[in-house]
Structure 1
Amino acid sequence: MPRKVWIIGSQKFKLLFLLLLGVFITLGGFIINNSLMPVFSTNEEPAAFYRADIKEKKVALTFNISWGEDKALPILDVLKEKEVNAAFFISAAWAERHPDIVEKMMKDGHTIGNHGYRYEHYPRLEENEIISDLNLSHKKIKDVTEKDVEYFRPPHGDFNKSVLETVDRFGYSVVHWSVGGQDWENPGVDTIVNNITDEIKPGDVILLHASDSAKQTGEALPIIIDKLHNENYSFVDIEELISQAEANIEEIK
């Protein structure tokens, strides 16, 4: 019995080839797009939070403290009077010396963050020295607060990508700032107030200091709070800003 041979004309062959090619391209594009989507939508690089990209007039007030007790207590009194919660990034060595002030911070509802132990510039340290400082500071702060704090601000606010990668392994969220009062320079109460209120935008993280070296912060603080309240700003916890859907993450190289 003779075999049947199917012969496809050149025009029909081209048409069939183009149809099959179109199917493969469409299918391939679907597979590639769906497999790559999670990769492009996930940011796994270490980052420092410094402000939230929001329209609501919300800001977070944060303080660094590493020395002294005379200025911290009046600042806590102002915050309590104005019914404002803040985040205090405390040096662990300072926390060891002043557990009563840390206890008052927590009792008043403020957030406690880690600000290191030795108060040295992390980028100048070897990785093992940073790890040692992180371990020690975390332990000492936990001894005082009985909590594993979540937020970390490197001493001097100084960090790079390598530092962030090391801190990230400890599970901390690094919090920087977007507006500072330069109060550690003691430039005058009016200047501190203007440094904050002239530059403020919704979602900003404000930096002030509660160490004894910042001699004018306590006087400037109620003016800053009242002025921002008059401009319809509200002070929120740092975790509320971080949880916002849209946030600016500082690119670190």
Structure 2
Amino acid sequence: MRKIMLISVLIIGAWLSVNNPYSNTYVANLKTDAVPVSGQEHSLIREIEEKAKEYEVEPSNARKDPVWKAIPGYNGLKVDIEDSYKKMKKDGEFNPDKLVYKQISPDVHLSDLPPMAIYKGHPEKPMVSFIINVAWGNEYLSGMLATLKKYNVSASFFLEGRWVKNNPGMAKMIAEAGHEIGNHSFTHPNMKQLSAPEINEEIKKTNDVIEAVTGVQTKWFAPPSGSYKEEVVQIAAAHKLGTVMWSVDTIDWQKPSPEKLISRVMGKVHNGALILMHPTESTAASLEQLIIQIKDKDMQIGTVSDMLSENRVLAKKMKE
């Protein structure tokens, strides 16, 4: 009788081993390192598998918003069972702080949407971007670049083509500092009032001069004064440029006091904010405090490309 029971136990154990795909695969992996797997280790693996769903996040598709036009997608998070186990096996118990994640891409991307203006990033992404439109204000640029460097912040500078032609050294300085370069038209016209050939010329000439001076091929177009029509967006897209607007305006051209400018921005800043500014005395004097206060809100500051990418802003414990 005992012999029959022993045989039964062995058969059941073998069946469970064969029919647990994850544990069987993981055990096979461990065997390559000649590491024995105990029942406690199997139990921990199963616990990680069972609890993983509580911590995972579904990806968010890019979409068209009736107010904000194109909204980029945002990666989801999936628990990496094997790497999470490796971090927990020493203690032998489940610890959510030691979970390791991998990013999961959404099904619909910004590139899948028809060309539309973009006013802000994904509302769950704790990041903002400085959009710095440059057609004048040379006397403030060096100070602003120094402040950005001090705090290790990358911004997106949208350069007027005529300005680049007249100030090649400053354009190179911005590019060499590692900032993103965008297209801000050639002569700063009201793009809404231009014909299709004129729109095309404004965008193309600016792309050409920026590439000739800095070696950069632009990805984004910012219409002067935010004035555009759908034809502008379509022609920009034909040049492989996304059209970028803003969701927070410093209104720095009105020469507000630094206190007023900072209050205006911080009162409206949000996840995914695209913050419009220019090289002005007000912005140059406010920039340091803006950076400090935005970071104090646990928001990162990145380029427009950083902002509009699907990559998540991750905590240290999460895995790219």
What TM-score bracket applies, with the shorter chain setting the length? 0.7 to 0.9
Aligned to 1:90: 159
Q: What residue identity is the alignment partner of 1:244? A: E
Distance 1:146 1:245, change over 3 A: closer
Query: Which deviates more, 51-60 or 91-100?
Result: 51-60
| CA-CA distance at 1:56 after TM superposition | 3.8
SS state at 2:281 partner: coil
Measured on the aligned residues, the alpha-carbon RMSD in Å equals 2.1
Name the CA distance, whole Å, in 1 between partners of 2:128 and 2:113. 26
Aligned to 1:237: 303
Name the CA distance, whole Å, in 2 between partners of 1:49 and 1:244. 14
Q: Deviations over 1:75-94 (max 9, x none)?
A: 10111111111000000111
Which residue of the other structure, out of 133, 142, 151, is the alignment partner of 1:64?
A: 133
Which residue of the other structure, out of 100, 119, 122, is the alignment partner of 2:188?
A: 119
Distance 1:118 1:202, change over 3 A: same
1:213-252 mapped onto 2 (5 Å cutoff): 214-244=280-310
Aligned to 1:189: 258
SS state at 2:182 partner: strand
Q: Deviations over 1:88-136 (max 9, x none)?
A: 0000111112111121212211000010101001111111111111221
Which residue of the other structure, out of 39, 49, 55, is the alignment partner of 2:124?
A: 55
Name the CA distance, whole Å, in 2 between partners of 1:42 and 1:124. 27
Which residue of the other structure, out of 191, 204, 216, is the alignment partner of 1:135?
A: 204
Distance 1:94 1:53, change over 3 A: same
Which residue of the other structure, out of 241, 249, 265, is the alignment partner of 1:180?
A: 249
1:131-170 mapped onto 2 (5 Å cutoff): 131-170=200-239
| CA-CA distance at 1:55 after TM superposition | 2.3
| CA-CA distance at 1:43 after TM superposition | 5.3
For structure 2, the 5+ residue unaligned runs are 1-106, 313-320
Name the CA distance, whole Å, in 2 between partners of 1:158 and 1:217. 22
Q: What residue identity is the alignment partner of 2:187? A: R
1:194-213 mapped onto 2 (5 Å cutoff): 194-210=263-279
Name the CA distance, whole Å, in 2 between partners of 1:234 and 1:167. 28
Check whether the contact 1:58–1:235 (CA below 8 A) recurs between aligned residues.
yes
Is 1:100 aligned to 2:166, yes or no?
A: no
Check whether the contact 1:193–1:223 (CA below 8 A) recurs between aligned residues.
yes
SS state at 2:118 partner: strand
Aligned to 1:4: none
Aligned to 1:81: 150
| CA-CA distance at 1:181 after TM superposition | 0.8
Check whether the contact 2:181–2:216 (CA below 8 A) recurs between aligned residues.
no
User: How many residues end up aligned between the 2 structures?
Assistant: 205
Aligned sequence identity (%): 24
For structure 1, the 5+ residue unaligned runs are 1-37, 247-253
Aligned to 2:115: 46
| CA-CA distance at 1:65 after TM superposition | 0.6
Distance 1:231 1:142, change over 3 A: same
Name the CA distance, whole Å, in 1 between partners of 2:149 and 2:111. 40
Check whether the contact 1:49–1:242 (CA below 8 A) recurs between aligned residues.
no
SS state at 1:142 partner: helix
SS state at 1:49 partner: coil
SS state at 1:144 partner: helix
Q: Deviations over 1:6-59 (max 9, x none)?
A: xxxxxxxxxxxxxxxxxxxxxxxxxxxxxxxx9xx9954321122122324211
Structure 2 length-normalised TM:
0.60
Query: Which deviates more, 193-202 or 101-110?
Result: 101-110
After TM superposition, what 4+ stretches of structure 1 lie above 4 angstroms from structure 2?
A: 41-44
Name the CA distance, whole Å, in 2 between partners of 1:122 and 1:56. 31
Q: What residue identity is the alignment partner of 1:61? A: F
Q: Deviations over 1:133-168 (max 9, x none)?
A: 122111111111122211111122211212111211
SS state at 1:216 partner: helix
